[in-house]
Amino acid sequence: MSENLKGLLEKINQEGIKSAEGKARAIEDKTRIDAEKILIDAKKLADEIIQKAKLEAEKTRISANLSVKQASRDLLLALKEDIRKMLNKIIEGEINKALSNEEMAGILAGLIDKYTEKNGKADDIKVLVKKEDLEKIKNTLMSKLKDRVKAGVEFRPSPNINAGFSISFDKGKSYFDFSDEGLLETLCVYLNPELAKIIA
């Protein structure tokens, strides 16, 4: 009886061990499969993160390049504008020097003489000048004009003229602008494209 009991106990023990070993193997297999799945998922996630980081880095690089190009364009445009303003100031200064009262009187006398030679009269001529220069220019000009012309020319002050003059040959319906602003605008129309060629 004790032999049978002993054998039975051994058999139960062996079956328990086999069952435990089977369960342990099943747990081990499941753990290994779960671990492999976790590793695969982790690798996939890591690849997605790396890919996303690469895309973000490329977007940042492209954006930085565009910003640098835009900043370069803005700087170049600002530089061109500064050069244009500087050139305009130089031209304006030279125009003001050239438009002294004596010079203006000489130019006006030449224009009026040429006009009256063709048309025989001066009563449709109007001259606009800076208010402060009106009497000086008028007196200087009158001394240069022929007697038959002097009576017809009308002089008026203009608050819009800082230097130079405007002259009309149709009683003020239209004017030729030889003021500092008019001459500056005319010169800049020519000079700005030339300047653009130089600094482009």
Contacts of 159 (CB under 8 A, 6+ apart): 131
Pick from 181, 182, 178: nearest CA to 168: 178
Cβ-contact 164, 179 below 8 angstroms? yes
Q: What is the DSSP letter of 181?
A: H
Model confidence at 89, in pLDDT bands (50, 70, 90)?
confident
**What's the whole-number average pLDDT of the chain?**
77
pLDDT band at 5 (very low <50, low <70, confident <90, very high): low
Q: How far apart are CA 149 and CA 192, in angstroms?
A: 40
pLDDT at 193 over 60: yes
The backbone torsions φ and ψ at residue 32, rounded to the nearest 5 degrees and listed phi first, read -65, -45
pLDDT band at 95 (very low <50, low <70, confident <90, very high): low
Q: Of 193 and 132, which is predicted with more confidence?
A: 132
pLDDT at res. 88: 67
Check whether 185 has a pLDDT greater than 80.
Answer: no
pLDDT at 83 over 60: yes
Q: pTM higher than 0.85 for the full model?
A: no
Q: What is the pLDDT of residues 33-50, one digit of tens each?
A: 888 888 888 889 888 888
Find out whether 140 and 109 touch, Cβ atoms under 8 Å. no
Q: Are 172 and 126 in contact (CB under 8 A)?
A: yes
From residue 19, alpha-carbon distances to 13, 23, 26, 27, 134 in Å are 10, 6, 10, 12, 124
